[in-house]
Amino acid sequence: MADQSKNTPEIFELNNGTMQVKISNYGATITSLSVPDKNGKLADVVLGFDSVDPYVKGLAPYFGCIVGRVANRIKEGKFSLNGVGYTLPINKPPNSLHGGNKGFDKKIWEVAGHKKDGDKPFIAFKYHSADGEEGYPGAVSVTATYTLTSATTMRLDMEAVPENRDTPISLAQHTYWNLAGHDSGNILDHKIQIWGSHITPVDQYTVPTGEILPVKGTPFDFTEEKRIGESIGEVGLGYDHNYMLDCPDQEKDGLKHAAKLSDGASARVLNLWTNVPGMQFYTGNYVNGVVGKGNAVYGKHAGVCLETQGFPNAINQSNFPSVVVKAGEKYQHTMLFGFSA
């Protein structure tokens, strides 16, 4: 069975008696995550599909997967590093998005360990990204481990080590959340607080201009809890912006508070903590009639993504925190998802 998992897309389960998570080795993808509401009623709160086939067929707009080698956009698919120019696939014209045509989300990861239930169930994946894959320099060894650390808490640890050459690395977990249930409609009535007082404004192609803009007095201000739909009409198609996670708050396990998402009817709350500098707040603006689990139809704003990350296009912006990882050094990105009701 272990050998087979190296080349066959499958779905694995984690269950600690309170929450149940299903994760595929295809893209290290969360396909289902069920947590209780205020009455103890379970609902699946992530967008996705019932089987691996639609993911493999490319029907998912990055539902639940880990994206890389570099998440988000790289302007015109070009960058230079150590005096050498690199050209990447333009898979979201005119830019390169989420690692290119066949990023980490479209690879079968090897299962390095799996404990389905009991105390602290986990699944560990590993992937070897070859030198030159999707145009990126150097080979990289990548691991991603999902652990149910308590009754209603999940931790994701992503690590990557460039083996022989410096390379940009910025991974992101691209789950679309709907705390009312994946099939409940849109997330415009969800409330969110984001521990970021600046965004990196973007051009017409959603690439940061290089500016760092205070959110105060703009529709991007979620420093106090606010309904997602309150000012969404003022930002074009919806939110698809990188927040600088710069608001101090009490740390948890050495991680900083990134966001608090809540749904009124179910009273479900998701608190997210991380150790990276940015978070893409994306309101599912391009989701359009995707037929998902149980034949639910996902439309625009059916879910919200909270993608902690390095800043988009940081490789081309010297004033952004660097995403370059030197050969032999370790990239470490942790996300802690705390659910309550």
174 is catalytic: yes
Residue 72, marked binder: yes
Residue 114, marked binder: no
Please give the mean pLDDT across all residues of the chain: 97
Q: How high is the pLDDT of residue 1?
A: 42
Q: How high is the pLDDT of residue 254?
A: 94
Residue 249, marked binder: no
Would the pTM of this model clear 0.95, i.e. be above it? yes
Query: Which two tokens mark 117?
Result: 């239930």
Between 3-12, 79-88, 179-188, 202-211, the lowest mean confidence (pLDDT) is in: 3-12
Residue pair 161/139 in contact (Cβ under 8 Å)? The answer is: no
Percentage of the chain exceeding pLDDT 90: 97
Which among 114, 174, 182, 333 is annotated as catalytic? Answer: 174
333 is catalytic: no
pLDDT exceeds cutoff 60 at 153:
yes
Q: How high is the pLDDT of residue 311?
A: 98
Over the range 63-80, which residues count as b (16 or more CB within 10 Å of their CB) and which as e? bbbbbbbbbbbbbbbbbe
Domains delineated in the chain: 11-340 (2.70.98.10)
- Read off the pLDDT of residues 16-26 as tens digits, 9 standing for 90 and up: 999 999 999 99
φ and ψ at 272, to 5 degrees? -120, 130
Q: How many Cα atoms within 13 Å fall on the side-chain side of residue 50?
A: 8
pLDDT exceeds cutoff 70 at 5:
no
Q: How high is the pLDDT of residue 284?
A: 98
C-alpha to C-alpha distance for 259 and 283, rounded to whole angstroms = 14
Q: How high is the pLDDT of residue 6?
A: 65
Residue 186, marked binder: no
Residue 176, marked binder: yes
Residue 175, marked binder: yes
How far apart are the two ends of the chain, measured CA to CA in Å?
38
Whether the ω angle into residue 94 lies within 30 degrees of 0, i.e. cis, is yes
pLDDT exceeds cutoff 50 at 4:
no
C-alpha to C-alpha distance for 325 and 264, rounded to whole angstroms = 41
